[in-house]
A = this chain, B = another copy of it.
Amino acid sequence: MSFNTLGGTAFPSPASGGLEGWQRAVRRAGHRLTRPRRAVLEVVAQADAALTAAEIHRLARDRHPHTGLVTVYRTLNLLVELGLVRRLRIEEGGQVYLRADLHQPGHHLICRSCHRAVEFPCRGLEEVVEEMERRTGFTVQDHWLELFGLCPACQEEQEQ
């Protein structure tokens, strides 16, 4: 398990008007809107947590039963290329897909006891990053902050 709560906790579930936007984006980029592709778009556009390819495959089949896992992968790669979806590597070595607008890049609270990961909206990091750019000459495009510790539930458990 672990990261499959990614996105789910901190971002309740915003727009779903994104779907049509995605379809337009796909067409505009010169791609066809096929049935399996539509199925994958719908699943990912409507999910408000990060999903594995296998999970997306299962859900897409509810919409278009014939959808193959290969096409799920291909469509996900397309969506990542178009910038609509982010591919996230999880600690165990797999990858997971999340709507780009849900992806606060790289802010995770990870519980070392129960391995649950929660995304959090990050405040105050901008200054740290700017300071670092000034000091090193780097241009920072992205960042990734992970906090490791104990979640409230596991703290309680350990106190008993």
Chain B's nearest CB lies how many Å from the CB of A53? 13
Q: Mark A124-160, 1 if CB is under 8 A from B, else 0.
A: 1101110110011111111111111111100100000
Q: Given that A124-B131, A128-B128 are contacting pairs, would A146 and B147 also be in contact in the complex, using a CB cutoff of 8 Å? A: no
| A118 interface residue per 8 A CB criterion | yes
Stoichiometry (number of copies) = 2
Q: Given that A93-B95, A144-B145 are contacting pairs, would A137 and B124 also be in contact in the complex, using a CB cutoff of 8 Å? A: no
Determine whether the beta carbon of B150 is less than 8 Å from that of A139: yes
Chain B residue with the shortest CB-CB distance to A142: B148
Determine whether the beta carbon of B129 is less than 8 Å from that of A139: no
Chain B's nearest CB lies how many Å from the CB of A25? 24
Q: Given that A89-B89, A109-B138, A138-B109 are contacting pairs, would A147 and B123 also be in contact in the complex, using a CB cutoff of 8 Å? A: no
Chain B's nearest CB lies how many Å from the CB of A83? 15
